[in-house]
Structure 1
Amino acid sequence: MITDIESATPALCRLQLGSELRQLRLEAGLTSTQVVRKLLWSPSKLTRLETGENATVETSDIMALCQIFEVDAETAEELKGYAAVTKTKRDWWQSKKYRPVITPSFKAFLGLEATASALYDYESEFVPGLLQTESYVRVIYQRAHQGLSDAEIDRMVDVRMTRQAVLHRTDSPLKFTAIINESVLHRQVGGPDVMRAQLAHIIEAASAPNVRVQVIPFKAGAHPGMNGAFMILQFRDRVTLKPIAYFENLADGWVTRREGDVEMYEDAFSDLQALAPGPQESLSMIEKAMKEH
């Protein structure tokens, strides 16, 4: 439950609304199929509502669901309040400026990231997005998306830089824990000057109380992150908003909400934290790599 709906972001309202609707459906003993048949909806419409994927939510849809679920008046008003926020406010990534360079799946991730209370990120190939400098991410996008115009690259870089605001929120900044493969420190993305500035930025960012950085050294040998990078997002209300794992590749990104899968990645991250040196020793590794560039 969001205590102050009026100040809540649309992303948080969509996610909370979807989670509560799903819980109410289960408490009513109804399947998704039964609900969509009663309302003459497509199955995907209910799925999008329950996963918070719709940009806006119609109050009439919420009223219809509340009627089927036999929801009390107070709860119904609260749910309609969530829907109203999605109609009257816009998240920054919904603007026309960013729309052309944000895929639907990444848009969904941005909503999750903006509402998460904690994010655990293992990266094997590059610096975590929330810790990247503008010069570093620009080189990555230029190499990974050859053929895009300078204006499109500028927008993609701007999206990455804007995302980092979650680390500096005045109201409950995101708790960010990053584990980086040692190879990331030595790979020259953009040349020595760009890398020195990037590594210095990581050290500076890690001085904040809500940011923790560790490095998996080569000498650790085989480890649970060798199948690729992943993120785990956690939310304040872990009853209705359970942790989610996120993955991405060159073409797209996707999430998994299955409890067994998420627990597997949570265990893998815990194992990586145990294998990696502590924050101070890890920062010393970063300082040493910075001098070597």
Structure 2
Amino acid sequence: MITDVESATPALCRLQLGRELRQLRQEAGLTSTQVVRTLLCSPSKLTRLETGENSVVEAVDVMALCEIYGANPEKRALLMGYAAVTKTKRDWWQSPEYRLAIAPTFKAYLGLEATASALHTYEGEFVPGLLQTEAYVRAIYQREHERLSIDEIDRLVDVRMTRQEVLRRASVPLKFAAVVNEAVLRRQVGSPAVMRAQIEHLAEVAERPSVRVQVVPFKAGVHPGMNGAFTLFRLNEAESIVYLEYLGGASVIRKRADVGLYEEAFNDLQILAVGPQESLGLIREAIKEH
């Protein structure tokens, strides 16, 4: 539960509101179908409310659901407070200066990243986004998006840098664990100076208490990450979501059985990779190469 609703972000309030509404429905012994029939709304609307996907939550919807579920006055006041934050505040990625630089499919990722208690990611080609330097990000965008103007690239870089605030948030720092292929350390992105600075930054961040970085060395051979990069968001002890990004777009996986496959893969990767200290040694070796 959020202890200070007024200072919470809209994304976190939407997520917590969804959890509370889903719990109330289950405690009332009601199915989603029964609720939408009573509320006279579409099934997708209830799903969006329970998963925190609506950018704004209407107070009238929250009050109607509280009536259906028989929520007590204290619970109603709390949920109305969550809804009010979604109406009066804006997540940083919804601001005008960022809106044009963020694809609609990526907004879901930013919402998950902002609300997750833990993030586990495997990367085979790039340094994970939350650990990238500005020059490294710029080198990637200049190569991948050659038709973009300098201003457009500046906005994209700014988005990437702003995302990294989750690692420094004052309340509860994001617990971040990354497993990277050794190729990430060896592949030069930008000039040798850019790459050297990036690897130095990676070594520095890897020593933070809330950050864990491990490397899968080439000698490890075949491993569970060879099908591609993936990110696991831990929202609470019982709920995790997988985010996959590919050339044509992105997708979010919520089905428990499918999420479990990625959780198992990440656990296997952590076992197969060398430990954090040995990984730090590999990172420092790569600095010398660049």
What TM bracket, shorter-length normalisation? over 0.9
**Counterpart-to-counterpart distance in 1, 2:66 and 2:32:** 14
**Counterpart-to-counterpart distance in 1, 2:49 and 2:87:** 14
1:217 maps to 217
**Counterpart-to-counterpart distance in 1, 2:127 and 2:70:** 49
1:292 maps to 289
**Counterpart-to-counterpart distance in 1, 2:33 and 2:53:** 19
**Post-superposition offset of 1:63:** 0.5
**Counterpart-to-counterpart distance in 2, 1:129 and 1:141:** 12
**Counterpart-to-counterpart distance in 2, 1:214 and 1:238:** 23
SS of residue paired to 2:127:
coil
**Post-superposition offset of 1:107:** 1.1
**Counterpart-to-counterpart distance in 1, 2:27 and 2:249:** 35
**Post-superposition offset of 1:33:** 3.1
1:104 maps to 104
2:265 maps to 268
**Counterpart-to-counterpart distance in 2, 1:10 and 1:291:** 44
**Counterpart-to-counterpart distance in 1, 2:249 and 2:37:** 32
SS of residue paired to 2:204:
helix
- Corresponding position: 1:77 with 2:77: yes
Q: Deviations over 1:247-283 (max 9, x none)?
A: 1123422221222222221111111111111111111
**Counterpart-to-counterpart distance in 2, 1:34 and 1:153:** 48
Q: Amino acid of the residue matched to residue 5 of structure 1?
A: V
TM-score by length of 1: 0.94
Q: Deviations over 1:19-41 (max 9, x none)?
A: 22122223333333332232232
**Counterpart-to-counterpart distance in 2, 1:72 and 1:123:** 46
**Post-superposition offset of 1:246:** 1.4
**Post-superposition offset of 1:57:** 0.7
What does 1:1-20 correspond to in 2, within 5 Å? 1-20=1-20
**Post-superposition offset of 1:196:** 0.5
CA contact (8 A) 1:122 1:225 kept: yes
- Corresponding position: 1:279 with 2:272: no
TM-score by length of 2: 0.95
What does 1:1-293 correspond to in 2, within 5 Å? 1-235=1-235, 237-239=236-238, 242-293=239-290
Q: Percent same amino acid at aligned positions? A: 68
**Counterpart-to-counterpart distance in 2, 1:37 and 1:123:** 44
**Counterpart-to-counterpart distance in 2, 1:42 and 1:63:** 17
Structure 1: gaps of 5 or more residues: none
CA contact (8 A) 1:144 1:250 kept: no
SS of residue paired to 1:97:
helix
**Post-superposition offset of 1:172:** 1.5
CA contact (8 A) 1:18 1:49 kept: yes
Aligned length: 290
Q: Amino acid of the residue matched to residue 272 of structure 1?
A: L
Structure 2: gaps of 5 or more residues: none
Q: Amino acid of the residue matched to residue 15 of structure 1?
A: L
When the two chains are superposed, the root-mean-square deviation of aligned CA atoms in Å is 1.5
SS of residue paired to 1:199:
helix
SS of residue paired to 2:212:
strand
